[in-house]
Structure 1
Amino acid sequence: MKKYFCIYCSLALLFYSFVVYLNCLHNSFVYDDQSTIVDNYFIRHWHNFPDIFTGKYFSLSAELTYRPVVTLSYFVDFTFWKSNPAGYHLTNVLIHSANCVFFFLFCFQLLKKRLTAFVSALLFSSYPLLSESVNAIGFREDLFAFLFMISGFLFFLKSRKDKYFIHYSLSLLCYFFGLFSKEMAITLPVLIILHDLVFPPFLLKNTLLAGRQNNGSVQPINPSISLRLSYLKSGFYRYYSGYLLISLFYLSIRFYFLHNPLESEIQSPLKNPFSSFLTMTHVLAYYIKLLFLPFPLNVDYVIPVSTSIAKISFWISALLLTATGILAFRTKQRNNYIFFCIVWFFITLSPVMNIIPLGNVMAERYLYVPCAGICMAFGILLTKSASFLSSYHERNTVRKPFTFTTTFPISLTLLPALFFLLSGSAYLTLRRNTDWKDGLRLWSKTLTVSPNSARSHINLGNAYEKMDINSAAFEEYKKALKIDPNDADLFNNLGIYYDKMRLYEDAIACYKKSIEIYPQHTQAHNNLGVIYTKERILDEAIREFTKAISINHYYPDAHSNLGIAYYRKGAMDLAEREFLTAISMEPNHAKAHNGLGILYNDRQQFDNAIHAFQTAVKIKPDYANAHMNLGALLLKHKKDKHAALFHLKESIKLDPQQDQATGINKLIQQLEQAN
């Protein structure tokens, strides 16, 4: 049984973690998934992959920081799943399941107790606080960071035990990939040093063991701090120098060779170190509250900026943190493992404590890696409590304790406690998964918790806009405008609304305001160019499209729109160049194929034009304008009345309010009478 126990536990964890997140496979793309996946042409073709290693990465990938491992996973996902969100969610769930297994193996390697390791991993697999990282495809970096961190730590422990260089090399490799998944992985060497301070390897060596004989057993004396530090110093070149070199390499890439200049433009609400200290004290205290009471969960926390030390809320938070610190150091005297787990939480959380300004002051996804330490602490406490009760029961009764397997005795009290915790956390997680079903549900739910969240109002407005509920979208945008009148995305969205309403002057004003707030807003430049094209202000349109392309070189939408502007200006060769450029970037760009068909029709290259229109409707069957163009061309130059009638009817069915609706209906009527 002992031989196969780890295999059985791993299979059980895979099954349990998959079932807990099974209902998220039906969810759609939400939150940052729109920019990261849906609108991201970069991940659709492998010939773009080399650009991951260039300065173009940031404008092409929709990532603010350099995370090539995550972007690579999106390439793989799109290869298999295209635009099917279920496949992307499946990938997230599988990574989380793998994390649970590696976490179990790590806990077993560290604690040397199978039951404690298994319980810790079970708690981690269904912990409600982790649901944001698993449900949001655009936050996959937290999953990858933990995967590489925990496997890197596991290989490090194995290298200490077996003295195999291959294990140490694998640990360094995992650390390397972890850093290029998310910056939080840089805490791994700190955790390793913490481990060696708390659990010095020389305690296991008889030559360095000082102890006393007690009933035939040797009990080591706790070594001094100086002895521990001297060991760290002696092991620097052997164990720690590799992590240091990789860290220096990563930092040079991150802040010099492939640094995104837009990072410096991040608008953090915390303007100075003092307000940052006060506010993050509140945030840290609330994080601790969420560990024990993981509700209500929230996608967008609105954190008021603290500016005064006189507020009672600050002192309550400070008192909680002080009590946590005292508890951690008190446990150091009794249980090094629980001390290690508590310090794990604070170390891994430190990169997101606004030391470097962050756009989001607080987010649940930041807790994915720190929660592992807390789950391990809970696992230790649960099994120790069960062991104590089992021993007490054995001392006071003649009956033997209940045996779960022949591997380890277990108290009857552990099973109901564990069942209560797991069923409760699984229930909360399953319910939370349904909140991520789509944008409408997610942001409606978020606004019940954070009614003053401008981001939630904007995203709810976007959800209404996609459903063509334009009046509701406009109301949400107005609410967001009252909360934050300086949001560039908000004015871009308002411009889209006014464009739909054909209020072009208002749309132009909104797009210009968006660009004024954020000059690098590619969508605002592109959308402004579209309005100028409609208004026949072609020179200004060309200027805006060119600006959008200069910001994001891989922007097929802007190239296609620039082609339309050149076409309307009569610059046919330039128009053809832009249409072909858009198609080379995105072969399935229906609008570019349609524009190319119009151009070929004007040049009387009718076969090429028909092929272009057919490609457009094949790519996008609900493309009304392409159906109209194809139907008219088939009727005029191929005399194919049957096919022409089909495409003209399809066009009017898809868009009965289009500008050419009267002429199309008249032509359909003539064809039907002729038949």
Structure 2
Amino acid sequence: MSKIKNFITNHFNIFVFVMFAVVIFSLYGRTLFFNFSYYDDDVLILDRQDYLTFSNIGKIFSNTVFGEGRDQFCRPVLNLTFLIEKYLYGTKPFGYHLTNLLLHLFSVFSLFLFLTLRYDKKKTFILCLLFACHPAIVQAVAWIPGRNDSLLALFIILSCCFFVKYTENTKSGYLFGYLFCFVLALLTKETAIVLPLFYFLFLLYKKKDVKQIIVNVTILSLIILIYFFYRKYVLSGLYSATFKEMVTNFYTALVPATSKYVANIFFPVKLSVFPALLKVNYLLCTASVLVFVLLFIKLKRYDLKIVLIGICWFLFFLFPTYLMSNNYFFDHRIYVPLIGIMLVILEMIKNYNEIYSKKFIALLAFFFLMFSSVTLYYEQKFQNKEFFWVNALTMSPESDLANAMVGQLFFERGLYKESEKYFLKAISIKPTNAIHYGNLSVVYAKIGDLDKAEEVLLKSLEYTKDNPNTYYNLALAYKYKGNKEKAREMKEKYIETFNRTNKVSKIVDIVL
């Protein structure tokens, strides 16, 4: 036993890594056998096997994450991970889920190494263990596209590690390391843009000389300027929200969204795989705030500046997500902000040695078991598209997309009456979405009611005339009805619309 204790003491980092690996693979090991959820992962991976090639790296860096002008996200690093995995695993989900687990493992271990630059290793290990099993970040691990947040966290943490080392020893290697990781973070997710603010705050906190501050600010400003020009080039021609719209979105989301994420810190309950509406439990938010108030009162020996920096980290890495229109406030977006809360807690308990008392260990064990239990329950909702979309509909019955996807599930099983019901529900929620009409028309075509198929397709033209699939399906409907003249007319409209909009056509519309 003494030899084991000596080994752990002398090789504590190795012991920590192994423990993190054991906990993470114990909690998330079964996700390795999960299928695709068919929410973004089918579009980004299954539908793009021809696109994900090394010859297309230039396109990956010059297109949005979904390509073809279908989004406003400049995130090439995510697609690069899918490109590499395409050559390793093809379309087998096992490898993609394995990558998610490894990214989570290395992110948690990197966070441990970063925080131990200031705090006690044992206390940091305990907090990072709770972070590793926190239910609010399940989506970043169990849902393949959710890796973007764990990937972002990894690059941000590594950049911060190199930055701290650089401020202590201005070696060019540390300078390159923190700047390179910062660039990778920017190319992973737009929220990385707030990271230089914390570099600046750290330099002020450490009271570095003005010259060093000016050098770092100048270099970072240049990188950000280049990034904005690059992003503008990638998004050229795409609609972007006006400043007024972003301010309105931010103001609308500020209180409810922040309250939701605050509540998830200590009480991660009623998590949703697809939160179509922002549902907030203000009672749980208040309870989380009270926990912090009690900590502030009981623990008095801490650096208030560090506590404020941690709170700012939590808020400022959330705020950019509030600027988007038609926003879904996914739980896993708390992945990076939660690091700020870790910083706050560690700062407040750094001189509190009662953390090793039986009472406190029992409390930590309770949180660990509670978090782990919720994580094990929640992750199973991502095991395949049936589980995912049925749970999405259960939690968000007002979502047109969730209704349409459940309708698609029934359609694939030949249950056309049930499928019709959910597509009609999707149309009633969002009557301007031409894809829902296209899917419903295919249902009617399958049951031989071509008149209804024609009716719903013509109805969709009242809302949009820019979807080539509508004309394609109308051409098929008229063809099978024997109206060759109308079929030829719709075919010509299909070709004209397709060439004008440059959209990919499919015989059967698939809800994305």
Matched, 1:7 2:11: no
> Quick one: distance in 2 between partners of 1:520 and 1:142?
34
Identity %: 23
Q: Please give the secondary structure, in 1, of the residue aligned with 2:270.
A: coil
How many Å apart are 1:45 and its aligned residue? 3.5
Aligned equivalent of 1:40: 48
**Following superposition of structure 1 onto structure 2, how do residues 477-492 of structure 1 map, counting pairs within 5 Å?**
477-492=423-438
Contact 1:14 1:100 in 2 (8 A): no
> Quick one: distance in 2 between partners of 1:301 and 1:493?
23
Choose the corresponding residue for 2:313, options 330, 339, 344: 344
Q: Please give the secondary structure, in 2, of the residue aligned with 1:157.
A: helix
> Quick one: distance in 2 between partners of 1:113 and 1:291?
22
Aligned equivalent of 2:179: 172
Question: After superposition, what is the alpha-carbon deviation per residue over 1:107-154, rounded to whole angstroms, capped at 9, x for unaligned?
Answer: 112x23211221222122111000112222223322221121111111
Contact 1:328 1:342 in 2 (8 A): no
Matched, 1:335 2:335: no
> Would you identify which runs of 4 or more consecutive aligned residues in structure 1 move more than 6 Å?
313-333
> Quick one: distance in 1 between partners of 2:470 and 2:351?
59
Aligned equivalent of 1:249: 226
Aligned equivalent of 2:157: 150
Single out whichever of 536-545 and 338-347 deviates more from structure 2: 536-545
Aligned equivalent of 1:496: 442
Sort the Cα spacing of 1:19 and 1:375 in 2 relative to 1 into closer, same or farther, 3 A.
Answer: farther
How many Å apart are 1:516 and its aligned residue? 5.6
Q: Which has the larger radius of gyration?
A: 1
Unaligned stretches of 5+ residues in structure 2: 1-7, 508-512
Matched, 1:120 2:127: yes
Matched, 1:51 2:51: no
Choose the corresponding residue for 2:214, options 237, 251, 256: 237
**Following superposition of structure 1 onto structure 2, how do residues 110-509 of structure 1 map, counting pairs within 5 Å?**
111-197=118-204, 199-201=205-207, 233-255=210-232, 257-259=233-235, 261-264=237-240, 277-303=251-277, 334-336=302-304, 337-354=306-323, 357-379=324-346, 385=352, 387-388=353-354, 410-509=356-455
TM-score (norm 2): 0.84
Contact 2:257 2:278 in 1 (8 A): no
Matched, 1:101 2:68: no
| Structure with more contact order per residue of length (Cα contacts < 8 Å, sep ≥ 6) | 2
Return the letter of the residue paired with 2:320: P
Return the letter of the residue paired with 2:235: H
Contact 1:508 1:531 in 2 (8 A): yes
Matched, 1:67 2:36: no
Aligned equivalent of 1:618: none
Contact 2:407 2:419 in 1 (8 A): yes
Sort the Cα spacing of 1:547 and 1:93 in 2 relative to 1 into closer, same or farther, 3 A.
Answer: farther
Sort the Cα spacing of 1:200 and 1:452 in 2 relative to 1 into closer, same or farther, 3 A.
Answer: same
TM-score (norm 1): 0.65
Contact 1:142 1:369 in 2 (8 A): yes
Question: After superposition, what is the alpha-carbon deviation per residue over 1:437-471, rounded to whole angstroms, capped at 9, x for unaligned?
Answer: 12222222233333323332122222222333322
Contact 1:14 1:101 in 2 (8 A): no
> Quick one: distance in 1 between partners of 2:152 and 2:107?
10
Sort the Cα spacing of 1:546 and 1:486 in 2 relative to 1 into closer, same or farther, 3 A.
Answer: closer
Q: Please give the secondary structure, in 1, of the residue aligned with 2:402.
A: helix
Return the letter of the residue paired with 1:92: N
Give the number of aligned pairs: 493
Single out whichever of 51-60 and 116-125 deviates more from structure 2: 51-60
Return the letter of the residue paired with 2:311: I
Question: After superposition, what is the alpha-carbon deviation per residue over 1:213-246, rounded to whole angstroms, capped at 9, x for unaligned?
Answer: xxxxxxxxxxxxxxxxxx5x54333222222111
> Quick one: distance in 2 between partners of 1:175 and 1:516?
47
> Quick one: distance in 1 between partners of 2:350 and 2:365?
13
> Quick one: distance in 2 between partners of 1:95 and 1:422?
21
> Quick one: distance in 2 between partners of 1:530 and 1:384?
74
Q: Please give the secondary structure, in 1, of the residue aligned with 2:318.
A: helix
Return the letter of the residue paired with 1:340: I
> Quick one: distance in 1 between partners of 2:291 and 2:465?
45
Aligned equivalent of 1:615: none
How many Å apart are 1:496 and its aligned residue? 3.1
How many Å apart are 1:63 and its aligned residue? 5.0
Sort the Cα spacing of 1:455 and 1:375 in 2 relative to 1 into closer, same or farther, 3 A.
Answer: farther
How many Å apart are 1:304 and its aligned residue? 6.8
Contact 1:123 1:375 in 2 (8 A): no
Aligned equivalent of 1:222: none
> Quick one: distance in 1 between partners of 2:64 and 2:40?
20
> Quick one: distance in 1 between partners of 2:238 and 2:257?
26
